[in-house]
């Protein structure tokens, strides 16, 4: 009986190791950083994440050398105004896609250290709940005025 239990535990550990990290299981699509007017100290990054793994996980942070602080954010409606608020994590359900997009969940780049020039690629590292990381480069896209129309946003 003891051998059977030990064998089962060994197989479970091997299966978990074979499955890889969350970063290995998450596909990143269409990442980009929003270009901002000169003097604007903050920007945001948007992308789609698909968890191809069989276990739910979460994006718990990000970092980039172009910003002093990088946070996960969402938009909420408070008192008739859209406000951005930090969130501790963004859930990544197994087998599902999660969109980080304008007006919703996003990666906030606070205290920009450089000008964001459309066409340049910005390094961004995503941090997952299991401690794994995924490095990528996100192109800077020109700010679209339609994103700003009829939206009052504040922090």
Among 16-30, 68-82, 91-105, top mean pLDDT goes to 91-105
Are residues 33 and 140 in contact, defined by beta-carbon separation less than 8 angstroms? yes
Domain count, the chain: 1
Residue 132 lies in a domain: yes
Residue 89 lies in a domain: yes
Residue 11 lies in a domain: no
Copy the structure tokens of residue 139. 């192109």
Q: Which domain holds residue 79?
A: 21-143
Q: Predicted confidence band at 94 (pLDDT cuts at 50, 70, 90)? A: very high
Residue 63 lies in a domain: yes
Q: 50-77, pLDDT tens digit by residue?
A: 999 999 999 999 999 999 999 999 988 7
Number of neighbours of residue 1 by Cβ within 10 angstroms = 5
């Amino acid at each position: 009986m003891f051998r059977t239990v030990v064998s089962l535990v060994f197989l479970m550990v091997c299966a978990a190791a074979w499955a890889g990290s969350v970063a290995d299981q998450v596909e990143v699509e269409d990442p980009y950083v929003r270009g901002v007017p000169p003097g604007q100290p903050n920007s945001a990054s948007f992308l789609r994440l698909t968890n191809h793994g069989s276990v739910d996980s979460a994006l718990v942070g990000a970092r980039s050398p172009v910003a002093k602080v990088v946070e996960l954010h969402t938009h909420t409606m408070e008192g008739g105004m859209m406000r951005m608020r930090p969130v501790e994590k963004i859930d990544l359900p197994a087998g599902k896609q999660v969109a980080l997009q304008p007006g919703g969940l996003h990666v906030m780049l606070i205290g920009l250290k450089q000008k964001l020039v459309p066409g340049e690629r910005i390094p961004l590292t995503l941090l997952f709940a299991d401690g794994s990381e995924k490095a990528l480069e996100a192109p800077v896209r020109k700010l679209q005025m339609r994103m700003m129309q009829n939206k009052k946003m504040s922090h």
